Amino acid sequence: MDSTSLRDSYDAVADVYAQGFTADLVSKPLDRAMLAAFAEQVPKERLVADVGCGPAQVACFLADLGVPVVGLDVSPGMVEVAQARRPGLDVRVGSMLDMPLGDGELAGVVAFYSLIHLQAEERSLAYKEFARVLQPGGFLLAAFHAGQEVRHLDSWFDRPVSLDFFALRPEEVATGLAAAGFAMQATLMRGPYPGEADTERAYLLARRVE
C-alpha cells in the first residue's frame, strides 16, 4: 500500500464518496445484522474503533446503538466529511497499521472494507495492531470482498486516483488472524445486493485470545 496515494485518492473523492455511501447500510440488512451482533457483545462502557471509517456510516450506526466509538481514517478529507456529518463524533486521522490508541484500550475493532487496500504483509501487521489495541477477549469484525482478484483504479467518481483493491480469501484472513492471537467466532458469506459490484462479501467475527 502506498499510504500517500491512498490518502490523496480518498481526499480527492471524499465529498462524492460520502454522497454515495453515507446511507450505505440502509439497503444492507445482513451488514446491519452483523454490526448489531458485534455491538451486543462488546461492553457498552468500553471504546470501539471503526478503522478506515470513511464518512463514518459504520461508526454512526454503532453510536446509535449506544456503543462508544472512535473513527480512524488515513484521509483528512474523509475525516472532515465524517465530522461534518456527525458533530461530536470522535473521528481522527490515523492508520490501522499504527493506531493512535493505547495497548488494550479497545473492546472492539470494526474493519469494514478497509483491509482491501493492504498487501498481504501489511494485513499481517494490521492484525497484530488490532490485537495490541484490543483488551483480552475483545472482538474484531472484518468485512471484505471475497476472492483473489486485484483491481486498480486510475479514475473514480470521474476524479484521478491511484487505488488497488484486493479481494481476500476468508480462510487466508482467518489464518492470519489466528497467527495474531485471534479465535474465530463466526463467518458469514453473502452475494451482492442490487447495485453492488458483482462479488461475494465475507464477514468474519473474531475474538482476541485471553
Alpha helices by DSSP H, the chain: 3-21, 29-41, 57-64, 76-85, 120-133, 170-179
For residue range 27-43, what is the model confidence (pLDDT) as tens digits? 999 999 999 999 999 99
Confidence of residue 19 (pLDDT cuts 50, 70, 90): confident
Of residues 139 and 195, more confidence is placed in 139
8 Å CB contact between 185 and 205: yes
Q: What is the mean pLDDT of the chain?
A: 95
Mean pLDDT of 14-39: 91
Of residues 15 and 21, more confidence is placed in 15
125-157 core/surface letters (b: 16 or more CB in 10 A; e: else): ebbebbbbbbbeebbbbbbbbbeeeeeeeeebe
Domain borders along the chain are 3-208
The pLDDT of residue 101: 98
Architecture of the domain whose range is 3-208: 3-Layer(aba) Sandwich (3.40)
* pLDDT-above-90 percentage for the chain: 88
The pLDDT of residue 128: 98
Mean pLDDT of 45-73: 96
* pLDDT-above-70 percentage for the chain: 100
8 Å CB contact between 174 and 122: no
pTM, rounded to two decimals: 0.95
Confidence of residue 66 (pLDDT cuts 50, 70, 90): very high
For residue range 143-169, what is the model confidence (pLDDT) as tens digits? 999 999 999 999 999 999 999 999 999
For residue range 87-140, what is the model confidence (pLDDT) as tens digits? 999 999 999 999 999 999 999 999 999 999 999 999 999 999 999 999 999 999
Whether the per-residue pLDDT at 1 is higher than 70: the answer is no
Residues 6+ positions from 181 with CB-CB distance below 8 Å: 131, 208, 209
